[in-house]
Amino acid sequence: MPRLLASALSLRRDPRLMKLPPYLSLLCIVVGVVWLFLLPLDDYSRRTYISENALLPGQVHTYFGGSDQNVFRAYKHETDELAGKGNIEVNDKLESIAKGLGLKVGRQNFTYSSAGNTHSGQNIYAILQAPRGDATEAIVLVAAWKNVKGELNRSGVPLVLTLARYFKRWSLWSKDIIFLFTPDSIAGPQAWVDAYHDAHDSSRVASLPLKSGALQGAIALDYTRETRFQSVHIVYDGVNGQLPNLDLINSVNHVAGGQMGMGVAIQEMWKHSNSYHDRLQTMLRGMLKQGLGLASGPHSSFIPYHVDAVTLQPFGDGWQDEMAIGRVIEGTFRSLNNLLEHLHQSFFFYLLMQKERFVSIGTYLPSAMLVAANFTIMAIALWVKSGQPDVQEVITEKTKTAEEAEKIALPNPHVAVERDLFLPLVLVAVCQFLGVVPLYLFNHLSESALIPAFVLFTVLSAILPFLLSNLLHTSTTSTTTQQYHLIRSFSLLLLGMFLSSLATLNFSLAFLVGVFSTPLTFVRPCPNSPILKWLSLVVLYVLSPTTVVFVASVLPGLDEKVGYGLGEVLRQAAFAWDVTGTYTPVVVWCVWWPAWIVGVVSVLGRPGGGDKKMKKA
């Protein structure tokens, strides 16, 4: 044991030890990324299963159909006439229908402003009180008048009305059922859910005149097509990458896929062969959506309030009719009705790679954590290095006067050098603080000013490192190697810390930012090699936050042939920030961007001078 300790101690003083961290960091990154690509394999992913005993999905006969088809046609006729009419007019009609069914009806006005635009509208909702229940819990059925793409929910709204009429006939509900009709798919549900939980800003969003019990689950129906369909697409991404309980998705999948025999798709994978390639693609799409953290449907706003919700979208040409999707909703509601407490059994953190395959957080988290850890490892290594005398200087001295140098150099490596902390701390703090500027700009400018502001900001952010670098090397001040080590150390330490804590909240965002930031671990001042310096700069500028945002907005989306365009992306980001409270911009501008600036500054660095201190030590 003492021998082991001694050898460990001697290893500690081994100069080779300080060469290790960059390789260790590289290993972390490689393992982290490879890990992610292993997940779709059978050995790493698991089959989904229903964990909550109470749900019992697909165990009931569904009776929606028959004469309800005629009811549906009648309601469809009514709502078709409302197409193109104003929000209030639509709600008047919906109110008269819902009141005719004997439901209590409430309305709610909301006005959001974002990027200079006003998003206002009126929600209407009807409450079916459980005939034998105790009104302490409720489940929600949402039909937005327009879906996220702005298409009219032509079949969805009349189908929800038909279901309201049909559900009213049953006496077996243990929870109230709320039928919610919103004018759009994101602001409306957000306003309603905020107000339902009394978490709304009453200057923008009106309080609800009528409430029921605690929300236990929500299903949104996005059913724009008027022809028969083949399969149902389950949209489950919530705001900020939060996900509904996996049991809910499994239940819908069980009812739709198992009981009704229709296809089920996720993540816009209209065809899925369950091959490695398709699984990986599904998982990456899911990660991308999760990383962006945008609302993907009317259900998204519910999830931050711990109300598990999904949106159902029928798609494809097949023989399933409106009654079939109605039965899926009926079956799912019967399952939710069986719940005794909030969905809590299954997973909230998972990556789905097929409708029936997933990886849970325990399996995928190491991936993002390893990527985040590489920054921390490097930060610690740089801190240690900053405490050691510059080896190169010592060696050059050694060659000059060998005997003299030996006397000085030998005891040196084991004694910490005094660190000059002020300049590095100030620089890193200033860079971090500067991140507030783009965050404020992009979330408060009006829509027309967004693109010019982005261009201006891109140029400024490209020039800023040069300015800062020159500031560090004026005639009066000169930044030492040690200070560059410390600058990088602090910056990487912050990045590693932010990303590893973010990984537990939004794995995908942490992983994506981590991967884009990997060059920051390895770039260093290279005053003697202009080729290396310019190569580093090119890599850093290609992977800069502004470039990535620009390229992402121009590249074709998952389904679309062309990208959204920069203006649309910036407008959506501002809307997400203002309405749904998406925090992705904070991560981009206040975590990633400052680290990038510091990275470029250190590449441009020309360390020199200040060697006196080290010699003293």
Residues binding other proteins (CB under 8 A): 53-54, 56, 59-61, 130-134, 170-174, 334, 337-338, 340
Q: Which is nearer to other proteins, 14 or 341 (CB)?
A: 341
Closest CB 54 distance from other proteins, rounded Å: 5
Q: Which is nearer to other proteins, 122 or 338 (CB)?
A: 338
Q: Which is nearer to other proteins, 335 or 491 (CB)?
A: 335
Nearest to 164 by CA among 210, 196, 135, 124: 124
Alpha carbons 194 and 259: distance in angstroms, whole number? 35
Alpha carbons 62 and 334: distance in angstroms, whole number? 9
H-helix or E-strand spanning residue 444: helix 436-444
Nearest to 521 by CA among 546, 552, 496: 496
Nearest to 252 by CA among 267, 268, 237, 235: 235
Closest CB 188 distance from other proteins, rounded Å: 30
Q: Which residues contact 473 (CB under 8 A, 6 or more apart)?
A: 479, 606
Q: Which is nearer to other proteins, 267 or 338 (CB)?
A: 338
Alpha carbons 377 and 383: distance in angstroms, whole number? 10
Alpha carbons 463 and 86: distance in angstroms, whole number? 49
Q: Which is nearer to other proteins, 56 or 408 (CB)?
A: 56
Closest CB 168 distance from other proteins, rounded Å: 15
Closest CB 175 distance from other proteins, rounded Å: 9
Per-residue buried b or exposed e for 283-311, using 16+ beta carbons within 10 Å of the residue's own CB: bbbbbbbbbbbbbbbbbbbbbbbbbbbbb
* Strands 117-128, 176-182: pairing kind: antiparallel
CB atoms within 10 A of CB 586: 16
Q: Which is nearer to other proteins, 339 or 526 (CB)?
A: 339
Closest CB 49 distance from other proteins, rounded Å: 15
Closest CB 582 distance from other proteins, rounded Å: 38
Q: Which is nearer to other proteins, 56 or 288 (CB)?
A: 56
Closest CB 259 distance from other proteins, rounded Å: 10
Q: Which is nearer to other proteins, 132 or 407 (CB)?
A: 132
Q: Helix 566-575 and helix 447-472: axis angle, to 10°?
A: 90
Backbone angles phi, psi at 311, to 5 degrees: -110, 135
Alpha carbons 158 and 94: distance in angstroms, whole number? 10
